């Protein structure tokens, strides 16, 4: 079983790119299965169903969607096995850009949208810096020069990554991505995350509603970057 984990900012075109890649894998005689993780609601499973590939949905609800997809990897792999799949494609719903949902033995794919501007690759953090492949979408909306500058910025953030220029509307780049997914590593037991999860939870994570800083405990960071510890 091979695992590809697709992450990226909301609206970057993850689902469209993955649909084309899944179609390309199927055309090559492989058996991909898709797990789509979202936060509150999704209808994307219907889009995958139309392709005729097994699809499952997980909703993280009030939990961090990245954490939710990380500790459910084994369950997803078991499900894919039961569907007689040979490639599991996991689309995540990462939002906060502090973690990266990539285990060490997967093909880590970061989908990033060129219209977010050339500073975006510096903002997305481990999602991009620990990825094996960066998929650039919406390239048809900017000039060739701007695409190339964007690409250069991605290489500054992650010098070793493979870059695929894709178009979620036409399917451009899907064959190339499918090829990379086929060439990805086999999943293993005892997989490790590539990047540390965020430092610690704060009082807000446990349900504090009051805004003022005096009500919060633990390690707090001030606007000027100074960090201090409140509590016992």
Partner 1 sequence: MTTDRACTLTIIGGFDKDGNPDLVERLEMHRGEVIGIVGPTGSGKSSLIADIEQFALGDTPSGRKILIDGCEPRAEIRSDPRKKLIAQLSQNMHFLADMSVDEFLRMHAKSRGRSPEVAERVIELANTLTGEPVRHDHHLTILSGGQSRALMTADIAVISDSPIVLIDEIENAGIKKKEALELLAGEGKIVVVVTHDPMLALMTSRRVVMKNGGMVRVIETSAEEQKVCEDLAKVDDWLMDLRETIRRGEVVEAAI
- Minimum CB–partner distance for residue 156 and partner 1 (Å): 9
Residues written for the chain:
232
- Minimum CB–partner distance for residue 148 and partner 1 (Å): 4
Kindly tell me which of 104 and 146 has the beta carbon lying closer to partner 1: 146
Place of tokens 């953090």: 125
Kindly tell me which of 85 and 164 has the beta carbon lying closer to partner 1: 164
- Minimum CB–partner distance for residue 161 and partner 1 (Å): 12
Kindly tell me which of 36 and 151 has the beta carbon lying closer to partner 1: 151
- Indicate the Cα dihedral angle 188, 190, 194, 195, nearest 10°: 160
Kindly tell me which of 95 and 141 has the beta carbon lying closer to partner 1: 141
Counting Cβ atoms within 10 Å, is residue 83 exposed (0-12), middle (13-18) or buried (19+)?
Answer: middle
- Minimum CB–partner distance for residue 160 and partner 1 (Å): 14
Kindly tell me which of 145 and 227 has the beta carbon lying closer to partner 1: 145
CA 136 centroid distance within chain: 13
DSSP 163-186: EEE--TTT-TTHHHHHHHHHTSPB
Distance from C-alpha of 211 to C-alpha of 187, rounded to nearest angstrom: 44
Pairing of strands 87-91, 107-113: unpaired
- Minimum CB–partner distance for residue 54 and partner 1 (Å): 25
Residues that bind partner 1 (CB under 8 A): 114-115, 117-119, 140-146, 148-153, 163-165, 170-172, 174-176
Kindly tell me which of 33 and 164 has the beta carbon lying closer to partner 1: 164
Distance from C-alpha of 13 to C-alpha of 61, rounded to nearest angstrom: 22
What would the two tokens of residue 159 be? 């010098």
Distance from C-alpha of 146 to C-alpha of 115, rounded to nearest angstrom: 10
- Minimum CB–partner distance for residue 30 and partner 1 (Å): 17
Place of tokens 């990380």: 70
């Amino acid at each position: 079983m091979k695992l590809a984990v697709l992450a990226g900012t909301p609206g970057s075109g993850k689902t469209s790119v993955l649909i084309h890649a899944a179609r390309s894998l199927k055309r090559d005689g492989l058996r991909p299965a898709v797990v789509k993780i979202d936060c509150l609601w999704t209808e994307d499973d219907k889009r995958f169903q139309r392709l005729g590939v097994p699809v499952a949905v997980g909703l993280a609800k009030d939990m961090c969607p990245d954490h939710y997809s990380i500790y459910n990897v084994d369950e997803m792999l078991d499900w894919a096995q039961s569907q007689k799949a040979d490639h599991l494609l996991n689309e995540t719903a990462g939002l906060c850009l502090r973690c990266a949902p990539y285990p060490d033995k997967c093909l880590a794919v970061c989908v990033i949208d060129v219209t977010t501007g050339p500073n975006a690759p510096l903002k997305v953090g481990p999602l991009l810096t620990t990825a094996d492949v960066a998929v650039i979408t919406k390239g048809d909306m900017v000039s060739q020069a701007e695409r190339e500058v964007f690409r250069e910025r991605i290489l500054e953030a992650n010098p070793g990554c493979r870059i695929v220029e894709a178009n979620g509307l036409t399917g451009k780049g899907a064959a190339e991505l499918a090829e990379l997914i086929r060439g990805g590593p086999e999943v293993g037991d005892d997989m490790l995350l590539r990047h540390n999860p965020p430092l610690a939870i704060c009082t807000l994570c446990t349900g504090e509603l009051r805004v003022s800083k005096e009500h919060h405990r633990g390690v707090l960071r001030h606007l000027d970057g100074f960090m201090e510890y409140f509590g016992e």
